[in-house]
Structure formats: C-alpha cells, structure tokens
Amino acid sequence: MNRRMILSRVSQDETTFAVIEFSGVERRDLKQAVQRAVTAWVKHGEAGRQAFANSSEDFNVGDLANELSDPALQAELKKQGVTHLAVDCYCDDLPTRWEIDDLLVLNDPSGPAAESAS
C-alpha cells in the first residue's frame, strides 16, 4: 500500500509544498533511500549528471519530481527498496493571510449560531 507525506517550505514570499507518495521503505528511511538513489544516478549516468548540472548542483525534491520518469533513476530507487515514488509540487508565490487553522465561522452575534439559538 502506498503511503504519503508532505514536505513544506514557508517563507515571506512563497509557500511551497510537495506531496510524496511512496512504498517499499519505512517513512523514516525514505529520505536516505532517495538520497542514496539520486547520488548513484548522478554518479553513474549521463542523465543524472545533466540533471544535477541543470539544477546548479542544487538538486532537490522539485528537481526530483521532474526526473522521476527516467528509467535509470527508477532502477536506482528500486535498488534502495523504493518500489513506488511519486512527487507532486505546489507553489503559491502570492502569500495570503489565510492559514490552515483559521476559523471559518465568524464570531458574529447575528450569524448562524445566533439564529439557531432563537
């Protein structure tokens, strides 16, 4: 069964997160397994070396999402026990003042709560 995790980066000018779906390894071991697989892919293959160079040698989860279709990378992931890996990245570069825990029912005495009490 595939499992999911969310990685996020929140800064003053953007919010970015990735939804990672995976199987084959434990959640606590996924990062190291992916690091070992990507490192081997970069060391041993032209596509990996090119992707690493194209990332300005700053290959991260966003870059990984773009390269997951490469068969050589998939082979390296399988060597590390990662039998499935999918990464979907999302970025909002127009920050809002709306947070996930913000209340959605306003504290208004004439609002829905007041109407149901009458």
Please tell me the total count of domains within the chain: 1
Q: Are 28 and 46 in contact (CB under 8 A)?
A: no
Q: Domain limits at 80?
A: 3-117
Low-confidence ranges of the chain (pLDDT < 50): none
Q: What is the pLDDT of residues 50-74, one digit of tens each?
A: 999 999 999 999 999 999 999 999 9
Per-residue confidence (pLDDT) for residue 50, from 0 to 100: 98
Per-residue confidence (pLDDT) for residue 114, from 0 to 100: 56
Per-residue confidence (pLDDT) for residue 118, from 0 to 100: 53
Per-residue confidence (pLDDT) for residue 116, from 0 to 100: 60
**Long-range contacts from 39-46, C-beta under 8 angstroms, 24+ separation:** 40/76, 40/79, 41/70, 41/72, 41/73, 41/76, 44/72, 45/72
Tell if the pTM clears 0.85, that is, is over it: no
Per-residue confidence (pLDDT) for residue 98, from 0 to 100: 82
